[in-house]
Structure 1
Amino acid sequence: MAALGRFSQAVMRSAFAAQTRQLSAAAAHGEQGVKTWKLLSFLVALPGVGVCMLNTFLKAQHHSHDQPEFVPYTHLRIRSKRFPWGDGNKTLFHNSHVNALPDGYESHE
Protein backbone atom coordinates (compact mmCIF):
# COMPACT_ATOMS: atom_id res chain seq x y z
CA MET A 1 0.00 0.00 0.00
CA ALA A 2 2.88 2.35 0.77
CA ALA A 3 4.37 1.65 -2.65
CA LEU A 4 1.10 2.75 -4.26
CA GLY A 5 1.22 6.03 -2.30
CA ARG A 6 4.82 6.72 -3.35
CA PHE A 7 3.96 5.90 -6.96
CA SER A 8 0.96 8.26 -7.00
CA GLN A 9 3.07 11.06 -5.46
CA ALA A 10 5.75 10.55 -8.10
CA VAL A 11 3.16 10.70 -10.87
CA MET A 12 1.65 13.88 -9.39
CA ARG A 13 5.08 15.55 -9.10
CA SER A 14 5.96 14.76 -12.71
CA ALA A 15 2.57 16.02 -13.94
CA PHE A 16 2.96 19.24 -11.95
CA ALA A 17 6.48 19.76 -13.31
CA ALA A 18 5.27 19.23 -16.90
CA GLN A 19 2.43 21.70 -16.39
CA THR A 20 4.82 24.28 -14.95
CA ARG A 21 7.09 23.88 -17.97
CA GLN A 22 4.14 24.37 -20.34
CA LEU A 23 3.01 27.51 -18.56
CA SER A 24 6.49 29.03 -18.56
CA ALA A 25 6.84 28.24 -22.28
CA ALA A 26 3.50 29.93 -22.98
CA ALA A 27 4.58 32.99 -21.00
CA ALA A 28 7.74 33.27 -23.08
CA HIS A 29 5.65 33.38 -26.27
CA GLY A 30 2.99 35.66 -24.73
CA GLU A 31 4.63 38.83 -26.06
CA GLN A 32 4.32 37.54 -29.64
CA GLY A 33 0.67 36.61 -29.03
CA VAL A 34 -0.14 40.14 -27.87
CA LYS A 35 1.45 41.61 -31.00
CA THR A 36 -0.44 39.18 -33.23
CA TRP A 37 -3.82 40.00 -31.71
CA LYS A 38 -3.09 43.72 -31.80
CA LEU A 39 -2.27 43.51 -35.52
CA LEU A 40 -5.37 41.40 -36.20
CA SER A 41 -7.53 43.92 -34.35
CA PHE A 42 -6.25 46.92 -36.26
CA LEU A 43 -5.76 45.34 -39.70
CA VAL A 44 -8.74 42.95 -39.86
CA ALA A 45 -11.41 43.77 -37.28
CA LEU A 46 -11.57 47.56 -37.57
CA PRO A 47 -11.60 47.62 -41.39
CA GLY A 48 -14.24 44.86 -41.29
CA VAL A 49 -16.45 47.01 -39.06
CA GLY A 50 -15.90 49.95 -41.40
CA VAL A 51 -16.93 47.92 -44.46
CA CYS A 52 -20.07 46.73 -42.64
CA MET A 53 -20.95 50.32 -41.70
CA LEU A 54 -20.47 51.47 -45.30
CA ASN A 55 -22.64 48.61 -46.58
CA THR A 56 -25.43 49.51 -44.15
CA PHE A 57 -25.24 53.19 -45.06
CA LEU A 58 -25.39 52.52 -48.81
CA LYS A 59 -28.32 50.11 -48.43
CA ALA A 60 -30.19 52.70 -46.35
CA GLN A 61 -29.71 55.26 -49.13
CA HIS A 62 -31.42 53.02 -51.70
CA HIS A 63 -34.16 51.78 -49.36
CA SER A 64 -37.73 52.76 -50.18
CA HIS A 65 -39.48 54.58 -47.35
CA ASP A 66 -42.98 53.93 -48.71
CA GLN A 67 -45.45 52.01 -46.63
CA PRO A 68 -45.85 48.41 -47.83
CA GLU A 69 -49.25 47.43 -49.18
CA PHE A 70 -51.60 46.00 -46.55
CA VAL A 71 -52.72 42.43 -47.26
CA PRO A 72 -55.23 41.08 -44.70
CA TYR A 73 -53.87 37.56 -44.26
CA THR A 74 -55.93 35.54 -41.79
CA HIS A 75 -52.89 33.96 -40.06
CA LEU A 76 -51.17 37.29 -39.26
CA ARG A 77 -51.96 39.91 -36.59
CA ILE A 78 -54.18 37.56 -34.56
CA ARG A 79 -55.33 39.13 -31.29
CA SER A 80 -56.77 36.43 -29.00
CA LYS A 81 -56.44 38.77 -26.01
CA ARG A 82 -55.49 42.39 -25.49
CA PHE A 83 -51.93 43.50 -24.78
CA PRO A 84 -51.47 44.72 -21.18
CA TRP A 85 -50.18 48.16 -22.30
CA GLY A 86 -51.58 51.11 -24.20
CA ASP A 87 -54.85 50.53 -26.02
CA GLY A 88 -54.23 46.76 -26.04
CA ASN A 89 -54.11 46.50 -29.83
CA LYS A 90 -50.52 47.59 -30.51
CA THR A 91 -47.43 45.49 -29.82
CA LEU A 92 -44.83 46.73 -27.35
CA PHE A 93 -42.47 48.03 -30.06
CA HIS A 94 -45.19 49.21 -32.44
CA ASN A 95 -44.11 51.39 -35.37
CA SER A 96 -47.14 52.93 -37.07
CA HIS A 97 -45.29 53.37 -40.38
CA VAL A 98 -44.21 49.73 -40.73
CA ASN A 99 -46.41 47.61 -38.44
CA ALA A 100 -50.03 47.15 -39.47
CA LEU A 101 -52.91 46.59 -37.07
CA PRO A 102 -55.41 43.77 -37.74
CA ASP A 103 -57.62 46.11 -39.81
CA GLY A 104 -54.81 47.96 -41.66
CA TYR A 105 -52.29 50.74 -41.18
CA GLU A 106 -53.00 53.72 -38.96
CA SER A 107 -53.91 56.81 -40.96
CA HIS A 108 -51.77 59.89 -40.48
CA GLU A 109 -53.30 63.26 -41.16
Structure 2
Amino acid sequence: MAVFGRISQTLLRSSLIQTRQLSATAAHGHAEQTARTWKILSFVVALPGVAVCMLNMYLKMQHHAAHHVEPEFVPYSHLRIRSKRFPWGDGNKSLFHNPEVNALPDGYEGRDE
Protein backbone atom coordinates (compact mmCIF):
# COMPACT_ATOMS: atom_id res chain seq x y z
CA MET A 1 0.00 0.00 0.00
CA ALA A 2 2.87 2.38 0.79
CA VAL A 3 4.30 1.75 -2.65
CA PHE A 4 0.99 2.71 -4.26
CA GLY A 5 0.98 5.98 -2.23
CA ARG A 6 4.51 6.89 -3.33
CA ILE A 7 3.75 6.20 -6.97
CA SER A 8 0.56 8.25 -6.88
CA GLN A 9 2.40 11.16 -5.20
CA THR A 10 5.20 10.99 -7.79
CA LEU A 11 2.68 11.01 -10.64
CA LEU A 12 0.75 13.87 -9.06
CA ARG A 13 3.91 15.96 -8.64
CA SER A 14 5.04 15.36 -12.21
CA SER A 15 1.62 16.30 -13.57
CA LEU A 16 1.58 19.50 -11.47
CA ILE A 17 5.04 20.48 -12.71
CA GLN A 18 4.01 19.90 -16.33
CA THR A 19 0.82 21.90 -15.81
CA ARG A 20 2.75 24.82 -14.30
CA GLN A 21 5.23 24.78 -17.17
CA LEU A 22 2.45 24.73 -19.74
CA SER A 23 0.55 27.55 -18.05
CA ALA A 24 3.72 29.66 -17.81
CA THR A 25 4.35 29.13 -21.52
CA ALA A 26 0.75 29.97 -22.35
CA ALA A 27 0.85 33.08 -20.16
CA HIS A 28 4.02 34.27 -21.88
CA GLY A 29 2.43 33.86 -25.31
CA HIS A 30 -0.71 35.59 -24.10
CA ALA A 31 1.31 38.54 -22.78
CA GLU A 32 3.01 39.02 -26.14
CA GLN A 33 -0.31 38.89 -27.94
CA THR A 34 -1.88 41.34 -25.49
CA ALA A 35 1.01 43.78 -25.87
CA ARG A 36 0.74 43.57 -29.65
CA THR A 37 -3.01 44.19 -29.48
CA TRP A 38 -2.61 47.30 -27.31
CA LYS A 39 0.16 48.62 -29.54
CA ILE A 40 -2.07 48.27 -32.60
CA LEU A 41 -5.01 49.88 -30.78
CA SER A 42 -2.81 52.80 -29.73
CA PHE A 43 -1.78 53.57 -33.28
CA VAL A 44 -5.10 52.80 -34.98
CA VAL A 45 -7.59 54.21 -32.44
CA ALA A 46 -5.92 56.49 -29.89
CA LEU A 47 -3.68 58.64 -32.10
CA PRO A 48 -6.35 59.31 -34.75
CA GLY A 49 -8.80 60.05 -31.92
CA VAL A 50 -6.45 62.68 -30.49
CA ALA A 51 -5.95 64.16 -33.97
CA VAL A 52 -9.73 64.41 -34.53
CA CYS A 53 -10.20 66.12 -31.14
CA MET A 54 -7.43 68.62 -31.93
CA LEU A 55 -8.99 69.41 -35.32
CA ASN A 56 -12.42 69.84 -33.69
CA MET A 57 -11.10 72.31 -31.11
CA TYR A 58 -9.13 74.25 -33.76
CA LEU A 59 -12.23 74.64 -35.93
CA LYS A 60 -14.34 75.70 -32.94
CA MET A 61 -11.70 78.24 -31.95
CA GLN A 62 -11.68 79.68 -35.48
CA HIS A 63 -15.48 79.93 -35.48
CA HIS A 64 -15.50 81.59 -32.06
CA ALA A 65 -12.79 84.10 -33.03
CA ALA A 66 -14.74 85.13 -36.14
CA HIS A 67 -17.88 85.97 -34.15
CA HIS A 68 -16.30 87.30 -30.96
CA VAL A 69 -17.40 90.78 -29.89
CA GLU A 70 -15.36 92.54 -27.23
CA PRO A 71 -17.51 93.74 -24.32
CA GLU A 72 -17.50 97.43 -23.48
CA PHE A 73 -15.03 98.47 -20.79
CA VAL A 74 -16.71 99.63 -17.57
CA PRO A 75 -14.33 101.08 -14.95
CA TYR A 76 -15.78 99.51 -11.81
CA SER A 77 -14.10 100.87 -8.68
CA HIS A 78 -13.71 97.45 -7.02
CA LEU A 79 -11.84 95.85 -9.95
CA ARG A 80 -8.20 96.26 -11.05
CA ILE A 81 -7.13 97.93 -7.80
CA ARG A 82 -3.40 98.72 -7.76
CA SER A 83 -2.42 99.43 -4.15
CA LYS A 84 1.24 98.91 -4.99
CA ARG A 85 3.15 98.57 -8.26
CA PHE A 86 4.18 95.21 -9.72
CA PRO A 87 7.98 94.67 -9.45
CA TRP A 88 8.41 94.15 -13.21
CA GLY A 89 7.85 96.18 -16.35
CA ASP A 90 5.97 99.42 -15.92
CA GLY A 91 4.41 98.16 -12.68
CA ASN A 92 0.87 98.30 -14.02
CA LYS A 93 0.67 94.93 -15.81
CA SER A 94 0.51 91.53 -14.14
CA LEU A 95 3.19 88.93 -14.84
CA PHE A 96 1.03 87.04 -17.36
CA HIS A 97 -0.64 90.09 -18.91
CA ASN A 98 -2.51 89.58 -22.18
CA PRO A 99 -3.41 92.91 -23.80
CA GLU A 100 -6.32 91.36 -25.75
CA VAL A 101 -8.05 89.97 -22.65
CA ASN A 102 -6.76 91.74 -19.53
CA ALA A 103 -7.79 95.33 -18.99
CA LEU A 104 -5.71 97.91 -17.17
CA PRO A 105 -7.36 100.23 -14.61
CA ASP A 106 -8.02 102.84 -17.32
CA GLY A 107 -9.13 100.44 -20.10
CA TYR A 108 -7.77 98.06 -22.69
CA GLU A 109 -4.39 98.79 -24.30
CA GLY A 110 -4.24 100.36 -27.76
CA ARG A 111 -7.97 100.87 -28.19
CA ASP A 112 -9.63 104.20 -28.67
CA GLU A 113 -13.00 104.24 -27.05
TM bucket normalised to smaller: 0.5 to 0.7
Q: Distance in 2 between matches of 1:73 and 1:49?
A: 42
Q: Distance in 1 between matches of 2:27 and 2:91?
A: 60
User: TM-score, structure 1 length as denominator?
Assistant: 0.61
Greater relative contact order (Cα < 8 A, sep 6+): 1
Query: Residues 43 and 104 of structure 1: is their aligned pair in 2 closer, same or farther, counting only changes over 3 Å?
Result: same
CA contact (8 A) 1:82 1:88 kept: yes
Please, which runs of 5 or more residues in structure 1 have no aligned partner? 1-22
Match of 1:9 in 2: none
CA contact (8 A) 1:68 1:98 kept: no
Match of 2:41 in 1: 40
Calculate the aligned-residue CA RMSD, in Å. Answer: 2.8
Match of 1:90 in 2: 93
Between Structure 1 and Structure 2, whose CA radius of gyration is higher? 2
Query: Residues 108 and 70 of structure 1: is their aligned pair in 2 closer, same or farther, counting only changes over 3 Å?
Result: closer
| The structure with more helix, counted as a fraction of residues | 2
Alignment of 1:22-37 (within 5 A): 27-37=28-38
Query: Residues 48 and 75 of structure 1: is their aligned pair in 2 closer, same or farther, counting only changes over 3 Å?
Result: farther
Q: Distance in 1 between matches of 2:25 and 2:83?
A: 65
Please, which runs of 5 or more residues in structure 2 have no aligned partner? 1-23
**What's the CA shift for 1:55?**
1.1
Match of 2:16 in 1: none
CA contact (8 A) 1:72 1:104 kept: yes
Q: Distance in 1 between matches of 2:84 and 2:36?
A: 58
Equivalent of 1:99 in 98, 102, 107: 102
Q: Distance in 2 between matches of 1:56 and 1:81?
A: 39
Q: Distance in 1 between matches of 2:49 and 2:41?
A: 11
**What's the CA shift for 1:56?**
1.6
**What's the CA shift for 1:88?**
0.7
Q: Distance in 2 between matches of 1:40 and 1:75?
A: 54
Q: Distance in 2 between matches of 1:32 and 1:105?
A: 60
